[in-house]
C-alpha cells in the first residue's frame, strides 16, 4: 500500500519497469531512464537536460539553479529560514519549508507501518517508503544525503551528519532557534527544538513502558534507555 500516487509511480518505475513502460513516456536523453505520465512533464524534464529555462538563485554566493518557480521558492527558504507550512496535529508545533515535507511529517503521527525492511535478520518497519530507503542505506552504506553547498562533495548515510557538516564547515549557524522568552538555545534539527520546547512547557509525554513504573520522559529515546538500564538488568 502507498500513501501517495508519487510513491506508487516510483515503485512501478523501480520494480515493474516492463509494465510501467507501457503507461509512462520515457525520456529520450542518452543514459536517462526517467518515465513520465504526461508530455508536459516529459518536456519540462528535457529542459533540465538542455539547461533551458532554469532559474538561478540570486542570493549572494549561491550557485543553485531551480527547474521551476516553486522549486526556487522552496530553495530560497533555506537562506531566509522561512517555514510557512505548519503541522495541525494537536500538540505538534512543527513547521516546514515545503508542503511536501509537511505531508511527509504528518505520516509520523500515524501508527501504520506498511514498509518492511527485507534485509536478512532485520525486522524494522516504517511508515513511509522514504523512511525504509533511508534505513536500508545503513545496511548498504549508501550515502543518500549530500551537502548542497556549492563545490562541496560531502555525503553521508545520515541526514544529521550532513546538517552537522554544514554547520561546522559552512554556515556556523544552528537554524532552529527557541522562541521561548529569555531562551537563546538553537539546534541543528527541528525535532531537537521540539523536544527542547517540551522542557519549557514541562511536558513529558513518554511514560515508562514497565507496568509498575510511573516515570515520564521528554524523549522516547530517554524513556527506552531508562527502561533497559533500570528494569531489564
How do residues 124-181 score in pLDDT, each as one tens digit?
888 888 888 888 888 988 888 888 887 888 999 888 888 888 888 888 878 788 888 8
Distance separating alpha carbons of residues 195 and 201, to the nearest angstrom: 10
Distance separating alpha carbons of residues 86 and 98, to the nearest angstrom: 10
How do residues 22-55 score in pLDDT, each as one tens digit?
567 788 877 777 777 777 777 767 766 666 567 7
Residues of the chain with CATH 3.30.160.60: 143-200
Top-level class of domain 143-200: alpha beta
How do residues 182-224 score in pLDDT, each as one tens digit?
888 888 877 788 888 888 888 887 888 888 898 888 877 888 8
**Cell triple for 178:** 527557541
Q: Which residues contact 232 (CB under 8 A, 6 or more apart)?
A: none
pLDDT at 19 over 50: no
- Give the pLDDT score at 51: 60
Distance separating alpha carbons of residues 72 and 57, to the nearest angstrom: 7
Structurally, at CATH architecture level, domain 203-231 sits in 2-Layer Sandwich (3.30)
Amino acid at each position: 500500500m502507498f500513501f501517495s500516487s508519487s510513491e506508487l509511480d516510483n515503485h512501478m518505475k523501480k520494480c515493474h519497469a516492463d509494465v510501467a513502460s507501457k503507461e509512462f513516456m520515457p525520456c529520450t536523453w542518452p543514459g536517462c531512464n526517467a518515465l513520465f505520465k504526461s508530455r508536459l512533464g516529459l518536456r519540462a524534464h528535457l529542459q533540465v537536460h538542455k539547461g533551458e529555462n532554469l532559474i538561478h538563485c540570486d542570493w549572494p554566493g549561491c550557485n543553485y539553479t531551480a527547474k521551476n518557480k516553486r522549486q526556487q521558492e522552496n530553495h530560497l527558504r533555506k537562506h531566509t529560514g522561512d517555514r510557512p507550512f505548519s503541522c495541525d496535529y494537536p500538540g505538534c508545533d512543527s513547521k516546514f519549508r515545503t508542503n511536501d515535507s509537511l505531508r511527509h511529517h504528518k505520516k509520523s503521527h500515524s501508527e501504520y507501518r506498511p514498509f518492511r525492511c527485507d534485509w536478512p535478520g532485520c525486522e524494522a518497519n516504517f511508515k513511509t517508503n522514504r523512511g525504509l530507503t533511508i534505513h536500508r542505506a545503513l545496511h548498504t552504506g549508501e550515502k543518500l544525503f549530500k551537502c548542497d553547498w556549492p563545490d562541496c562533495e560531502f555525503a553521508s548515510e545520515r541526514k544529521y551528519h550532513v546538517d552537522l557538516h554544514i554547520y561546522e564547515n559552512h554556515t556556523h549557524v544552528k537554524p532552529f532557534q527557541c522562541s521561548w522568552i529569555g531562551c537563546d538555545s538553537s539546534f541543528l534539527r527541528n525535532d531537537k527544538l521540539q523536544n527542547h520546547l517540551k522542557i519549557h512547557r514541562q511536558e513529558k509525554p513518554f511514560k515508562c513502558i514497565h507496568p509498575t513504573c510511573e516515570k515520564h520522559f521528554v524523549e522516547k529515546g530517554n524513556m527506552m534507555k531508562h527502561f533497559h538500564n533500570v528494569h531489564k538488568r
